[in-house]
């Protein structure tokens, strides 16, 4: 390669690397800056210096035909590539990306969906581990951090800083050349070929830049690639190597990134251990003045102490001073010039937290990782949905954050209704910025509680939703219409109606209601019809906060309920276990919804048909059990009728059928046993009358039946049974005699109820 070429081998996110790079560029003054990155994003470099661009950010590149086939190119303020962009823009020097086209990578991502072998992820060993071992470090990460990322803090000669930086980069290149030459060939043939093709693309870009510019050329690439870019590969050989590569058509834009996604713990391959630590290091490098180890340690420990104070912990200044001294002492013992994160943490734990890990864990995310979400300048061209979302965020004053926050929304206020509308529309678009954890609670029906957390992947979801429209409102409405047209499920359509109404999409809601009405006419599955009623009833509770087609909704709920009531008995004949379980769950939801709907005629019809299911011997035992429980709770049947029906369904029946009946009869709580002593005694007598084998077969169902009872309820049930047994014993036996059979059964009964024997005998 031409001697005008200066190759700077960097770590992709390293404050020391970034500081060295800026000084090296100042010394070289290149006519063009080449940066490892996707060339399709060249036009986006010019926006990096805008005042509204606040890292962490990322270049999002995705297939034009499939936004889900995408990848990110993250940038922090301490990323060398970001600083290279800013340096070139400040000096009006051309800058461009030289990695292989993103379209090649995107094409490979699409191919992975159809080729399982392509999905295999290769994990390469750190090439610096060998050097680290020779230098006495535990791994390559610690070695590079000590020498490069924080090893330059003590530099104090501004006049020679550029020359020193060039010498360091020359040393990095020599070391990486030696490491690469000695590295064993552990990569697969496919992985090695991809690396060769990437580096061929870089050399092609470099040759092109050398032709276009008469001055020096700076190439900013990962340190591993430095030696490969200086090889004697020919231009024709490189072109032949990449000739057959297939590209996908792609689009690129800037999107916000987060501190947590810069961390290695997020799974990001080029992630760093502690973005918060590196951000602190970069703030010191930006001053362009030397920093003594003492000053460095004091600043970090003061920051740690300040965060602990905000969490309510007592951290005197004297303790922060001791923490700084201890970190310096630990670094000296380990032969390090400057304390690393390891020494800083150990010192803080010992002096500020007195050995207690809990306080440090409370602040470690904010301190070691960071909680920032990047911001994009308004002048940057963004995807239409991203631009519309930014406007919504300003209008609703909802700021994207990298931590989970709780947002309580009052639907009676205009601001609260706007927030709720936005978040519901995003859910329809499968952009789950917010998760609804509570609704229809608190003060009447006017409150929603959301948990919000922004993640970079939501930008990809927004890109995917572009096929439905250019605004959040338009896209959400069209997305729901598309799903409704493809669905034949009554319950799904009912849920879509609810979603469109609470998202304030009246046109889409009307279309979904019509689709639901058409599907309901053809529906024959009672479970589906039952599941359709609860979401419609729930949405009616928003009537005082949102404008809804209430009359149309009520007519729809009434029609569905009439169908359910009329068909529930016959549709419950001879169901298998899976179908019976689904029906019981649907019945519970439907029963609760019917009470909320408060139509007395429908409720009376429902109770009459439940009576029919209890008396019908062909009805599934599980459904009969739940039906009897509801009739008992409603007070529709007198106690004697309930006890008689219970006897018919458990006494003389198989353990499986009797157990299924009992499980669903007890579903919903212990009140039925605590307040109905004859019924409790009936269950007790049935249990005691079971043969040993029948009891063993019934035991799993029995334990499941009592699983919903809390420990207090179980204890009260046991006390009632014990009290009743003692009274019976006193009536039937002589004074002082004991019921031996009950005494023998008591431990097992306590075990079924999940309480101690001593408590049961109390």
pLDDT score at 596: 85
**Tens-place pLDDT, residues 275-288:** 888 888 888 888 76
Domain coordinates of the chain in residue numbers?
A: 5-257, 276-369, 384-468
CA–CA separation, 350 and 322 (whole Å): 10
pLDDT at residue number 27: 92
CA distance 514 to 358: 56
> Which whole number is the average pLDDT over 695-717?
67
Nearest to 15 by CA among 288, 280, 220, 342: 280
Strands (E), 483-571: none
Q: Is 666 helix (H, G, I), strand (E, B) or coil?
A: coil
Q: Within its chain, how far is the Cα of 526 from the centroid?
A: 35
What sign does the CA torsion over 682, 659, 698, 692 have?
Answer: positive
Burial class (CB in 10 A: 0-12, 13-18, 19+), 522: exposed
Report whether pLDDT(713) > 70: no
647-695 per-position pLDDT tens digit: 788 777 777 787 788 777 776 555 656 566 666 666 766 667 667 776 7
The pair of three-digit structure tokens given for residue 502, joined into one six-digit string = 């609470």
Model pTM score: 0.72
pLDDT at 736 exceeding the cut of 50: no
**93 compared with 150, residue with greater pLDDT:** 93
What pLDDT does residue 376 have? Answer: 92
Percent of the chain beyond pLDDT 70?
81
The predicted structure's pLDDT at residue 543: 57
Quickly list DSSP for 77-101. Answer: TT-HHHHHHHHHHHTT--EEE-SS-
Where residue 420 falls among pLDDT bands split at 50, 70, 90?
very high
Whether the predicted pLDDT of 443 surpasses 60: no
By CB neighbour count within 10 A (0-12 exposed, 13-18 middle, 19+ buried), where does 95 fall?
buried
Burial of 558 (0-12, 13-18, 19+ CB in 10 A): middle
d(Cα 170, Cα 642) in Å, to the nearest integer? 90
> Is the confidence at residue 143, as pLDDT, over 90?
no
Q: Using pLDDT thresholds of 50, 70 and 90, give the confidence band for residue 117.
A: very low
62 touches 250 (CB < 8 A): yes
Beta strand pairing call for 5-10 and 217-222: parallel
Residues 515, 484: Cα–Cα separation, whole Å: 7
Give me the residue label for tokens 């309580």: 408
DSSP string computed for 259-292? HHHHBGGGT-TT-BS-HHHHHHHHHHHTTTS---
Per the model's pLDDT, the better-predicted residue between 24 and 522 turns out to be 24
Q: Which of 255, 219, 227, 277 is nearest to 14 (CA)?
A: 277
Q: Are 491 and 532 in contact (CB under 8 A)?
A: yes
Distance CA 690, CA 667 (A): 22
- Rounded to whole angstroms, the Cα distance separating 172 from 199 reads 18
Coil, strand or helix: which one is 525?
coil
Name which residue leads in pLDDT, 403 or 698: 403
Say how far apart CA 218 and CA 24 lie, in whole Å: 10
pLDDT confidence tier of residue 749, bands split at 50, 70 and 90: low
Predicted confidence at residue 711, as pLDDT, reads: 67
Highest mean pLDDT among 150-164, 170-184, 262-276, 690-704: 170-184
Q: Which of 135-149, 196-210, 285-299, 619-633 is predicted least confidently?
A: 135-149
**Segment 201-228 mean pLDDT:** 92
């Amino acid at each position: 390669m031409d001697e005008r070429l200066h190759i700077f081998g960097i770590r992709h996110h390293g404050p020391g690397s970034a500081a060295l790079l800026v000084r090296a560029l100042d010394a070289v003054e290149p006519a063009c800056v080449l940066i490892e990155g996707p060339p399709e994003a060249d036009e986006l470099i010019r926006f990096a210096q805008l005042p509204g661009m606040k890292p962490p950010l990322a270049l999002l590149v995705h297939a034009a035909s499939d936004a889900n086939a995408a990848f990110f190119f993250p940038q922090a303020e301490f990323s060398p590539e970001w600083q290279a962009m800013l340096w070139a823009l400040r000096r009006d020097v051309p800058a461009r990306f030289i990695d292989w086209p993103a379209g090649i990578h995107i094409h490979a991502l699409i191919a992975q969906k159809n080729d399982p072998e392509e999905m295999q992820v290769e994990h390469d060993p750190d090439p610096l581990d060998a050097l680290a071992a020779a230098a006495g470090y535990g791994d390559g990460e610690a070695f590079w951090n000590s020498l490069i990322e924080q090893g330059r803090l003590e530099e104090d000669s501004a006049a020679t800083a550029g020359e020193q930086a060039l010498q360091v980069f020359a040393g990095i290149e020599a070391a990486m050349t030696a490491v690469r030459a000695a590295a064993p060939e552990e990569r697969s043939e496919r992985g090695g070929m991809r690396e060769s093709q990437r580096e061929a693309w870089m050399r092609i870009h470099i040759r092109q830049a050398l032709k276009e510019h008469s001055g020096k050329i700076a190439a900013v690439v990962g340190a591993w690639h430095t030696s490969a870019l200086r090889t004697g590969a020919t231009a024709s050989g490189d072109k032949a190597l990449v000739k057959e590569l297939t590209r996908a058509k792609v689009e690129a834009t800037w999107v916000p990134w987060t501190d947590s996604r810069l961390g290695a713990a997020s799974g990001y391959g080029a992630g760093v251990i502690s973005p918060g630590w590196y951000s602190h290091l970069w703030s010191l490098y930006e001053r362009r003045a030397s920093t003594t180890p003492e000053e460095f340690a004091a600043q970090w420990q003061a920051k740690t102490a300040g965060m602990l104070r905000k969490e309510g912990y007592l951290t005197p200044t004297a303790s922060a001073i001791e923490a700084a001294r201890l970190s310096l002492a630990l670094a000296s013992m380990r032969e390090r010039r400057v304390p690393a994160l390891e020494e800083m943490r150990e010192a803080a734990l010992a002096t500020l937290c007195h050995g207690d890990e809990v306080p440090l864990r409370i602040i470690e995310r904010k301190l070691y990782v960071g909680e920032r979400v990047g911001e994009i300048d308004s002048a940057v061209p963004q995807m239409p949905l991203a631009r519309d979302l930014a406007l919504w965020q300003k209008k609703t004053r909802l700021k994207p954050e990298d931590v989970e926050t709780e947002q309580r929304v009052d639907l009676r206020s205009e601001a609260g209704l706007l927030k709720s509308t936005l978040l519901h529309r995003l859910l329809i678009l499968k952009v789950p910025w917010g998760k609804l954890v509570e609704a229809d609670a608190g003060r009447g029906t006017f409150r929603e509680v959301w948990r919000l957390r922004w993640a970079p992947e939501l930008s990809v979801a927004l890109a995917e939703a572009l096929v439905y429209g250019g605004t959040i409102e338009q896209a959400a409405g069209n997305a729901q219409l598309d799903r409704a047209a493809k669905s034949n499920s009554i319950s799904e359509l009912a849920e879509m109606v609810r979603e469109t109404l609470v998202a304030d999409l009246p046109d889409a809601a009307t279309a979904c209601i019509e689709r639901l009405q058409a599907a309901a006419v053809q529906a024959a599955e009672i479970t589906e019809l039952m599941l359709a009623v609860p979401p419609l009833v729930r949405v009616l509770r928003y009537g005082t906060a949102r404008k809804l087609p209430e009359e149309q909704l009520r007519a729809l709920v009434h029609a569905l309920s009439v169908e359910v009531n009329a068909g529930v008995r016959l549709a419950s004949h001879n169901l298998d276990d899976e179908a019976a379980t689904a029906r019981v769950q649907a019945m519970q939801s439907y029963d609760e919804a019917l009470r909320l709907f408060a139509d007395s005629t429908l409720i009376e019809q429902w109770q009459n048909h439940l009576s029919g299911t209890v008396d019908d011997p062909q009805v599934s035992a599980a459904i009969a059990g739940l039906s009897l429980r509801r009739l008992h709770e409603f007070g529709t049947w007198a106690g004697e009728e309930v006890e008689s029906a219970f006897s018919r369904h458990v006494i003389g029946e198989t353990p499986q059928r009797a157990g299924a009946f009992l499980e669903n009869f007890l579903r919903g709580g212990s009140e039925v046993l605590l307040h109905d002593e004859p019924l409790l005694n009936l269950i007790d007598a049935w249990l005691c009358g079971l043969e040993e084998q029948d009891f063993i077969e019934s035991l799993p169902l029995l334990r499941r039946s009592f699983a919903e009872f809390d420990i207090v309820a179980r204890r009260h049930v046991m006390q009632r049974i014990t009290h009743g047994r003692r009274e019976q014993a006193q009536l039937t036996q002589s004074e002082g005699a004991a019921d031996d059979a009950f005494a023998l059964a008591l431990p097992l009964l306590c075990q079924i109820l999940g309480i101690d024997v001593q408590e049961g005998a109390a």
